[in-house]
Amino acid sequence: MEFVTLAEMKKHLRVDHDEDDTIIQSYIYAASSLIDAYCNSDKALLIDDVVEERIKIATVLIVAQFYDDQIDISENMTVPRAVKSLLWEYKVLKLASSK
Side-chain half-sphere CA neighbours of 3 within 13 A: 26
Break the chain into its structural domains and give their ranges.
6-90
Which long-range CB contacts under 8 A does 21-26 form with residues at least 24 apart?
23/67, 24/63, 24/67, 26/73
Neighbours of 60 (CB within 10 A): 20
DSSP string, 44-88: -SEETTEE-HHHHHHHHHHHHHHHHHT--TTSPP---HHHHHHHG
The class level of CATH for 6-90 reads: mainly alpha
Q: Is the pLDDT of residue 63 over 90?
A: yes
Segment 20-45, tens digit of pLDDT:
999 999 999 999 988 988 888 655 66
Enter the pTM of the model.
0.81
The pLDDT-based confidence of 46 (bands split at 50, 70, 90) is low
* Mean pLDDT taken over the chain: 84
